[in-house]
Amino acid sequence: MSRAAVLTGVGSCLPPRAVPNDELAAGLDSSGEWIRSRTGIEQRYFAEQGTATSDLAVGAGERALKSAGVSTVDTVLVATTTPDRPCPATAPVVAARLGMRGTAAYDVSAVCTGFVYGLATAAGLIAAGVADRVLVIGAETFSTLLDPEDRSTAVIFGDGAGAVVLRSGDPAEPGALGPFDLGSDGDGEDLITVPAGGSRQRLSGLAPAAGEQYFAMSGKEVFRHAVLRMTGSARTVLDRAGWRARDVDHLVSHQANLRITNHVADDLGIPRARCVSNIAEVGNTAAASIPLALDQAHTEGVLRPGGRTLLTAFGGGLTWGSAVLTWPDLDPARA
């Protein structure tokens, strides 16, 4: 019998410091209302000094494990663009702090598509019999990469972590993930990037130019690619699943920008009212955005058992990916 990855727990963790638009706008020749109107964001959370990505990942992982009613898994995957250190990976640290020393653990790097890539990787491990249960975490401290004087990026991103527990199960049962669609286009590597710090820059023989240590993004091109790639990928998984757009109860896209989410929904023919969105409260949290949205929507009762749910994401690389599942009946007492 084929083995599917079944979602059985969900959790999230945000740092305590909320940063409203007005706090950032003061130093950017902007206004809180301008930020909201352009992005849909009203606030985001920034990690305080002394906090690392692993701290948020552990918090989200603990909650997801509690939601699933388990204390251990066979593999821990952490999707992140902001690891604690360039070396080693952050996932083994997270696994150890969760009491799982000896458990397989590694990072997944696909920027904002990282969580969907992580889900697909976990599903593959389960299908192959390598693991029976996997913890997939998306965790970011993107504030560490931002140029505080760059209005195009400083107001968009926030910090946070979200996680799910997947177990081996039947492909026909609620919570079973799949089909998946994944893609990439390395010709767009410069559209979403941190230019300095890697081997390309270090072996160039040149010192980093001013500002190259910060995250940079080509906004208009990214907007176009995000809509195009998420829409195309979503259509692919809908076709593979035998679903029509009108069958989708909830679209959970990467929380990049509210206008992007609306464009994707419109192009797919999914009513905007069916879009799960928390970008107003947390901003763009990169690899953490989809699991954060899932946990909030589950906690608030938006995601209900039996609801047909479409996940889609786009990020640097360029990368993109989508998946579908029927939302399971998670225990609200443990969530």
Residue 257 annotated as catalytic? no
Instruction: List the structure tokens of 296.
Output: 């909030």
Q: Three-class SS of residue 325?
A: strand
Residue 275 annotated as catalytic? no
Q: Which of 13, 21, 112, 275 is catalytic?
A: 112
Q: Which residues contact 104 (CB under 8 A, 6 or more apart)?
A: 74, 75, 76, 131
Cα distance between the two ends of the chain? 30
Residue 21 annotated as catalytic? no
Q: Which residues contact 327 (CB under 8 A, 6 or more apart)?
A: 174, 175, 249, 250, 298, 303, 304, 305, 306, 307, 308, 309
Place of tokens 């070396």: 87
Q: Which of 254, 257, 275, 278 is catalytic?
A: 254
Positions marked catalytic = 112, 254, 284
